[in-house]
Amino acid sequence: MSSLNLDDFSDLIERPDGGVRRDAEERRQHLAVPSGALGRLDELGEWLAAAQSSVPVKPIERPRVVLFAGDHGVASLDVSARPAGGAQRLVRAVLDGESPVAVLARASGVPVRVVDMSLDCDPAELPKDVVRHRVRRSSGRIDVEDALTQDEVEQAFRAGMAVADEEADSGTDLVVLGDVSVGGTTAAATLVGALCGTDASVVTGRGGEAIDDLAWMRKCAAVRDALRRARPVLGDQLDLLRTVGGADLAALTGFLLQSAVRRMPVVLDGVVTAACALVAQRVAFRAPDWWLAGQTSGEPAQAKAFDRLALDPLLAQGVTVGEGAGALLSLPLVLAAASLAAELPTTSGPSGD
C-alpha cells in the first residue's frame, strides 16, 4: 500500500490568481501600445501576472534549466538511434558544456541543473550533486516487466518533489524542464497512448535522433506490448509510472506537481515532459495552469498530450534533441513578455503601480 497520497495535490494546487489576471488585462487596455499589437506576448504577460500575483509583472530574474536523467531497459530492443545505457554520455556533454542545451544556456546566462535518477553507470563517474537522488541503474524493460518497484517509484516521485522545493526555496522564478534519456520517448509514448486510449502507431515517433523504419516498427511493437501492461493500472497514476514509466519520468511528474503547489511556473520541452504533464493532470486538474508548452518537436505523442492539456506551444522549430533545448529557445519570448508587461507606460486609467 502506497504511503504517498496523490489526492492531496488536488487540494494543495490552486489556479493562478484570476483576479490579478483580470487586473493585468485591464491594465493592458491602457498601455500606449494598442491592444493586440503585441500578439501572444500580451497573453503571456497576463499569465505571468496571475502566476506571480503581481500587476505589473515582475521581471524574471532567476530562470533555471532542470533536467532529469535516466536510462530505460526498453532501449535494449534497438528502439533508439542512441545505444542502450548511453544517457551518461549525454549527461557528461551537458556538464562539460558541449551539448545543445549547455551552449544555449550559456548564451542566455541561464544555469543548468542535472538530476540523475536512473543512469546506467557507476555513480562515482558523476558529481555527487548530480547523483544524490538516484533510485537505481536503468529502469526496467517496460514491454515485459515493470519499470520500477513500489518503493522505487515513490522514492523517485518524492525526489522530484524535493528538487522542486529546492528550486523554489532558492528563488528560482521560472523553470525550463527537460529530460536526458535513452529509451525515454518509448515510455513517454506508452503513457500518452494509455491515457488517451490510442494505439501504439498513433503515438510512436522517431525519437531524438530520427530512427529508420525498422527501428520505428520495433518501437511500435514495444509500445504496443507496454500498453497492454499499462491498461490494467490506468486508475492509479503512481502505479502507471511504476509499471510503464521509469525513475526519471516519475521524478518529472513529482516535480511538476510540487512546482504547481509552490506556484513556480514551468516551461515544458519535448515528448517526455509532455507525457509526465499529462500524468500530472490526471492527479490534479488545475496543475496545467502553471505550465507553458515551450515548443512542438513533431513527436505525435507530444502533440496529443499538449492537445489534451490545452497547451499551445510557443515555438514550432522541430527541435527533437531533448535536454530542454527546444523549450529554452522559447525563454526569450517569456522574458520579453514580462519586460513589456512591466515596463510599457500607460496612457490613462489603472497603472498597477
Give the SS3 label for residue 45: helix
Domain range enclosing 135? 63-331
Collapsing DSSP to helix, strand or coil, 135 comes out as coil
| CATH code for position 162 | 3.40.50.10210
In a domain, 159, yes or no: yes
Give 350: exposed, middle or buried? Use CB within 10 Å, 0-12, 13-18, 19+. Answer: middle
pLDDT at residue number 348: 59
pLDDT value for 203: 96
Determine the pLDDT at residue 243: 98
- Is 259 within 8 Å of 290 (Cβ atoms)? yes
Catalytic annotation, residues = 323
Q: Is residue 234 part of a domain?
A: yes
* Nearest alpha-carbon partner for 186 in 136, 224, 242: 224
Identity at 8, one-letter amino acid code: D
Question: How many domains, in total, are found in the chain?
Answer: 1
Please indicate, yes or no, if residue 2 is contained in any of the structural domains.
no
Domain assignment present for 315: yes
pLDDT digits (tens, 9 = 90+) for 15-63: 998 898 898 888 888 887 887 888 999 899 999 999 999 888 899 999 9
349 domain residue, yes or no: no
In this prediction, the residues of the chain whose per-residue pLDDT falls under 50 are 1, 350-353
Q: Is residue 10 part of a domain?
A: no
Cα torsion angle, 266, 92, 74, 301, sign: positive
pTM of the predicted model as reported, rounded to 2 decimal places: 0.94
308 domain-assigned: yes
| Average pLDDT score, the chain | 93
Q: Tell me whether residue 314 is in a domain.
A: yes
Nearest 10 degrees: CA dihedral of 71, 75, 79, 81? 60
